[in-house]
Amino acid sequence: MPRRGLLIILSSPSGAGKSTLARRLRAWDDTLRFSVSATSRPPREGEVDGQDYVFVSVSGFQQLVAEGQMLEHAQVFGNYYGSPKAPIQTAIEKGCDVLFDIDWQGAQQISNSALQEHVLSIFILPPSITELHRRLVSRGKDADDVIEKRMQKSWDEISHWDGYDYVLVNDDLDQTEADLKTIISAERLRRSQQPQLVDHVRSLQAEFGERV
Mean pLDDT for the chain overall: 90
Query: Domain for residue 2, yes or no?
Result: no
Quote the number of domains for the chain. 1
Q: Is residue 48, in this structure, part of any structural domain at all?
A: no
Residue 71 lies in a domain: no
Spatial neighbors of 70 by CB under 8 A, at least 6 apart, are 38, 64, 82, 83, 84, 85
Domain annotation covers residue 80? no
Tell me what pLDDT residue 77 has. 74
29 lies in some domain: yes
Domain of 198, in residue numbers: 7-35+95-211
Using CA atoms, how far apart are residues 123 and 160, in angstroms rounded to an integer?
A: 9
DSSP secondary structure of 64-98: HHHTT-EEEEEEETTEEEEEEHHHHHHHHHTT--E
H or E segment to which residue 131 belongs: helix 129-139
Position with higher pLDDT, 59 vs 211: 59
Q: What DSSP assignment string belongs to 173-198?
A: HHHHHHHHHHHHHHHTT-GGG-THHH
Residue 105: which CATH number?
Answer: 3.40.50.300
- On whether residue 58 sits in a domain, the answer given is no
pLDDT tens across 121-158, in order?
Answer: 999 999 999 998 998 888 877 788 888 888 888 989 99
Residue 85 placed within a domain = no
| pLDDT score, position 212 | 65
Asked if residue 101 belongs to a domain, the reply is yes
